[in-house]
């Protein structure tokens, strides 16, 4: 047995792997949730269709080559709990495991087999300071491990903390989001098929703002992948 496997087994004895969704059952195997939760979680399975809920929502704004989501977002359900843990638990591993899971699903789809690089939606540095990590970057890292492609965390930069969105009207909100991102390090992005990744897709304004910057680089094309898509 390889040393790594031996060590993993030792760790599992002392820290049994708890299901990320219910935190009461244990799981075994490569998907980090228990059998009951696998059956209950709303897995999106959009990644095999070139036109789907995500591409439709972004229609006329981003020409995505392909798009996928791990879950449908359901308020007060297990998915909300999972995403909340991924963002705020302080455990970056959760987002990475979700990324590994997503990566395995993407491998089943021909639409993602020519991805060159993974680029996460950045967090403002002050949020990274409080949370300790960027959940979207960890999700992207998990995907990149499976696709065996590099993840470029420095490609985009978030300029400033997003101002409270609730008091603004739609146009203000969009302008606000659009000026929040800029290209930072574009080395290695020219002529690449970029997989842009984020945690939750609602209106798609954040993804749109980031995609707009990335597609301004010569020869790039964009695909999208998120942990969860909010239903209307």
User: Minimum Å distance from CB 89 to Zn ion?
Assistant: 16
Mode of pairing for the β-strands spanning 181-183 and 156-158: antiparallel
Comparing C-alpha atoms, which of 126, 121, 125 is closest to residue 152? 121
Is 81 or 178 the residue whose CB approaches Zn ion more closely? 81
Shortest spacing between CB 17 and Zn ion, in angstroms:
11
Q: Which is nearer to Zn ion, 73 or 181 (CB)?
A: 73
The distance of closest approach from Cβ of residue 81 to Zn ion in the complex, given in angstroms and rounded to an integer, is 10
Both tokens assigned to 106: 């993407």
To Zn ion, the closest distance from the beta carbon of 82 in angstroms equals 10
Contact 41, 227 (CB under 8 A): no
Number of residues that bind Zn ion (CB under 5 A): 6
> Residues 8-37 vs Zn ion: string with x where CB under 5 A?
-----------x-xx--x--------x--x
Instruction: Choose between 27 and 112: whose C-beta lies nearer to Zn ion.
Output: 27
Q: Where are the beta strands (DSSP E) in the chain?
A: 64-73, 117-120, 156-158, 181-183, 193-201, 221-230
Closer to Zn ion by Cβ: residue 22 or 186: 22
**39 versus 148: smaller Cβ distance to Zn ion:** 39
Q: Which of 145, 168, 156 is nearest to 98 (CA)?
A: 145
In whole angstroms, how close is the CB of 40 to Zn ion at the nearest point?
8
**Smallest distance from the beta carbon of 76 to Zn ion, in angstroms?**
16
Round to whole Å and give the CA distance between 43 and 142: 17
The Cα–Cα gap between 232 and 52 comes to: 14
The alpha carbon torsion through 74, 77, 82, 84 (nearest 10 deg) reads: 80
Shorter beta-carbon distance to Zn ion: residue 21 or 106: 21
Interacting residues with Zn ion (CB under 5 A): 19, 21-22, 25, 34, 37
């Amino acid at each position: 047995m390889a040393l790594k496997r031996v060590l993993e087994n030792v760790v599992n004895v002392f820290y049994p792997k708890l299901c990320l969704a219910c935190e009461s059952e244990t799981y075994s195997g490569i998907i980090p949730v228990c059998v009951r939760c696998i059956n209950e979680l709303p897995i999106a399975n959009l990644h095999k269709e070139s036109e789907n809920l995500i591409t439709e929502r972004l229609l006329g704004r981003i020409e995505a080559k392909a798009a996928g989501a791990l879950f449908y977002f359901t308020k007060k359900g297990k998915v909300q709990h999972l995403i909340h843990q991924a963002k705020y638990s302080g455990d970056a591993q959760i987002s990475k495991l979700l990324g590994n899971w997503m990566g395995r699903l993407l491998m089943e789809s021909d639409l993602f087999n020519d991805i060159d690089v993974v680029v996460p939606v950045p967090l403002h540095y002050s949020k990274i300071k409080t949370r300790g990590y960027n959940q979207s970057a960890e999700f992207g890292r998990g995907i990149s491990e499976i696709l065996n492609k590099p993840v470029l965390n420095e490609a985009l930069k978030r300029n400033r903390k997003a101002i409270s969105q609730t008091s603004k009207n739609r146009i203000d909100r969009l302008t606000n989001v659009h000026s929040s991102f800029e290209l930072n390090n574009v080395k290695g992005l020219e002529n690449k098929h970029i997989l842009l990744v984020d945690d939750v897709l609602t209106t798609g304004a954040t993804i749109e703002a980031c995609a707009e910057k990335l597609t301004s680089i010569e020869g790039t094309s964009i695909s999208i992948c998120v942990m969860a898509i909010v239903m209307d």
